[in-house]
Structure 1
């Protein structure tokens, strides 16, 4: 009878977990039992279901020749308790992550994950250690517009300090110090690369890098989403911190199963899910805009780093700077203009990179002479047209850059935002309008107390609770990971 009790308990819990949330699995490959149907979290439904199944398994139908006293397979399930259960949202999403990592270990080899981690780390370090300063273009324009005598009053050393200060403080440019003394005497042509870049930055980033095509206007109600509301809690606690390998597996799961601009999944509530995970806005277009802006800054940093190591590009920028600032013999002025030209050049190349990325192609993290596209003299036409950067067989595509952004942001924020999206998608399915991720069980332990009567003497030593009645205690558990 002990074996029968074991089989019955396992059958009961497996039957519960067979009733997983179908849309969640179909769309995201996440398994969870909805203990909140039709909305309120309730563990009693699990106990009631298993008891009903037990009764069905051992029930003697009316008219049977067997009776309670003659059946050797009569077990009564008297009590059920649930000492432990795990919800997807437990431990800041650690339970959610654990299931994903378990699933993805069958899909991504360790060495492939190691290469991805290296690429993402390189991207992160480039952005973190960048010398690129966005305001350098406007600083250079201000310097050129200043009258020659504005620089004649200063020694090269003093002026160099002013240039350095201008780079660090956009609100304090060199022209601020001299404008009250001299009127600006030089007007720059609109084809000047500095002017072209400065004016381009005032335009909307989406129109700059995307063709005239429809951008999703889908929205998400964030007022009561997983990341914002008070959530139900199970008994799960994270036992250890995840490794970099776990982080990569989680990262690649998101890239594979969440929607994005270059990989729209029409059945999902939001079209740009990965972008939402980065920006957290309730509007698809705002998330897309914010994500592209982040990637643009990374590309500017990477392209500026290349320019600073290219003697040929440095010489070209220096010659152009000397021409533009020819009214002065001060080398600090020429150097500041050169710096602005290099920053503007990096920006132009980065815009072209974004156009290529948005078409689903790859861009190297750090470029070479062979993979560089733009020329300093053609910046104006490149920015105003629809030119793209050279694509490459190496490097990262748009989703790859998103992966790099996700890799080093707050893990709990990333997990909760993913659950915001998955919950919204599930709710779009018939019969799931009140679905909640924090009602969804992914592991469960049961303590079950059985009793039975026998027509034979006991073959094993048992404790009588009543004359002729035996009790069995059974423990069982199940987890999706």
Structure 2
């Protein structure tokens, strides 16, 4: 029996077709895998970013309730903790079906606490107050704030009054004569009126010339006129030339590209109120100095920026005095009896000088001196823990005109109004009227001083604190289905996947 062997063959065209089909199939599978790797690496990048931001500056958060990530160096080009955290999370990870391995990370953009003239820090502080402080604490600050402005004309009025005082003193030494023509026109009886009457002499004898007291006091009202025992005042001093408010600051990188940038470069009244509430909660003042710090009177430093507690207190008392003087002057102008007494005294003082036409101006000078004395009594009362109304009533007025000479007695204080405003409340009002940039920079001065004194934070700087950043993560994924087909990578058949992540506290 004969056996037949069948001959079989595959066309080269069929083989090529099979190769093409397999290649297409594997290409589709590889493309799907690469797409899946993209999704997986994005989740991984987000997770790693959250891990980095979990390493916020602990001492800053402990003392001031703020979340910032510490950058490396004055220009914050990298975050030291970044690579170490990512490396630890990736070092033991093996490739799998969707396997990818961390390669590198680049910090593309970041926003620093000091950016936009400190508005980044200011916004975070306001948000901290909103989230952590009680409603009552915030309303307490809100109710106490006032837009009361100092009377900008007071200083000019003082200068005019003191200039008149010089004329009075000159005229007293050499009385102005009445010429014959004027005497004839006025008549003997009218001319005789240039001589002070008995009542006028009594007025001058009782009250003197308040302008002399005004000239003696001057406008710089410091703690020596206010506080009885100055030895209890803090002697703390600082070197502030290297602090935020004095040095050239590092700035963020491409910060305008970050989504949070817009909300962190604007200010408004609501933010200002929350910020004052934040200052009141985290910083101490002369009336609430509970612990020794580089500067004990911190709110006074924020207000004035001097390098010692004594200088800051002195400057604060002067500002507080000027605020009270403006309010008291407005009050006394509404008191008819005081205005009449001031005019009568002015006429009596001018009677022998021939300057009777200046009686109204001298009256204003007397009222200024009176308001000045009352303001000193007010500031003393405030530093003694009493409350003083912003705008006093007639009954609340303490100083009599004939008591001006007693002002040097440091124990002499104004009457208290239990429903008035305390020293702390007046500080809030003065801070509310301050320029945002100056106020915020000085706040960060204190933050640097207080954090830097703790262990391991000697080089702490606010212009290294990162709030928000945009990062590009690079991951390497080996080819699986089609290792010979590759476009970009460290080795044939591998893929390099980039993921951009933006994150902010």
The structure 2 residue matched to 1:13, chosen from 27, 42, 49, is: 49
The structure 1 residue matched to 2:59, chosen from 23, 26, 46, is: 23
The structure 1 residue matched to 2:457, chosen from 397, 421, 432, is: 432
The structure 1 residue matched to 2:306, chosen from 281, 292, 301, is: 281
Summarize the Cα distance change of 1:253–1:364 in structure 2 as closer, same or farther, 3 Å threshold: same
Q: Residue deviations 1:108-165, cap 9 Å, x none?
A: 76997799489432x12x43465773346644543543328644559xxxxxxxxxxx
Tell me how far 1:468 sits from its aligned partner: 6.6
Which residue matches 2:224?
207
Distance in 1 separating the partners of 2:387 and 2:479: 73
Gaps in structure 2 of 5+ consecutive residues = 1-36, 180-203
Kept in 2, the 8 Å contact 1:137–1:197? The answer is no
Distance in 1 separating the partners of 2:246 and 2:220: 33
Which residue matches 1:34?
70
Which residue matches 1:220?
238
The structure 1 residue matched to 2:83, chosen from 48, 55, 66, is: 48
Kept in 2, the 8 Å contact 1:136–1:339? The answer is no
Tell me how far 1:361 sits from its aligned partner: 3.4
Tell me how far 1:285 sits from its aligned partner: 1.2
What does 1:291-330 correspond to in 2, within 5 Å? 291-327=316-352
Number of aligned residue pairs: give it. 432
Per the normalisation by structure 2, the TM-score is 0.74
Tell me how far 1:435 sits from its aligned partner: 0.9
Which residue matches 2:381?
356
What does 1:184-203 correspond to in 2, within 5 Å? 193-201=210-218
Summarize the Cα distance change of 1:95–1:382 in structure 2 as closer, same or farther, 3 Å threshold: same
**SS of the residue 1:339 aligns to:** helix
**SS of the residue 1:443 aligns to:** strand
Tell me how far 1:209 sits from its aligned partner: 0.8
Gaps in structure 1 of 5+ consecutive residues = 61-67, 155-186
Which residue matches 2:182?
none
More helix by share: 2
Distance in 2 separating the partners of 1:264 and 1:435: 24
Which residue matches 1:142?
166
Tell me how far 1:218 sits from its aligned partner: 1.7
Kept in 2, the 8 Å contact 1:188–1:195? The answer is no
Tell me how far 1:43 sits from its aligned partner: 0.4
Per the normalisation by structure 1, the TM-score is 0.77
Q: Residue deviations 1:446-476, cap 9 Å, x none?
A: 222333459899xxxx998577756554333
**SS of the residue 2:323 aligns to:** helix
The structure 2 residue matched to 1:77, chosen from 87, 91, 102, is: 102
Which residue matches 2:33?
none
Which residue matches 1:259?
284
Summarize the Cα distance change of 1:137–1:256 in structure 2 as closer, same or farther, 3 Å threshold: farther
Distance in 1 separating the partners of 2:390 and 2:312: 23
Summarize the Cα distance change of 1:393–1:132 in structure 2 as closer, same or farther, 3 Å threshold: farther
The structure 2 residue matched to 1:416, chosen from 441, 446, 470, is: 441
Q: List structure 1 runs of 4+ shifted beyond 6 angstroms.
A: 108-115, 187-191, 454-457
Distance in 1 separating the partners of 2:102 and 2:141: 54
Summarize the Cα distance change of 1:250–1:202 in structure 2 as closer, same or farther, 3 Å threshold: closer
Q: CA RMSD, aligned part only? A: 3.7
Kept in 2, the 8 Å contact 1:304–1:346? The answer is yes
Distance in 2 separating the partners of 1:469 and 1:338: 93
Which residue matches 2:473?
448
Distance in 1 separating the partners of 2:240 and 2:488: 57
* Structure showing greater Rg: 2
Distance in 2 separating the partners of 1:153 and 1:422: 69
Q: Residue deviations 1:413-459, cap 9 Å, x none?
A: 222122122111111111111111111111122222333459899xx
Summarize the Cα distance change of 1:302–1:216 in structure 2 as closer, same or farther, 3 Å threshold: same
The structure 2 residue matched to 1:234, chosen from 252, 269, 274, is: 252
Kept in 2, the 8 Å contact 1:108–1:249? The answer is no
Which residue matches 2:32?
none
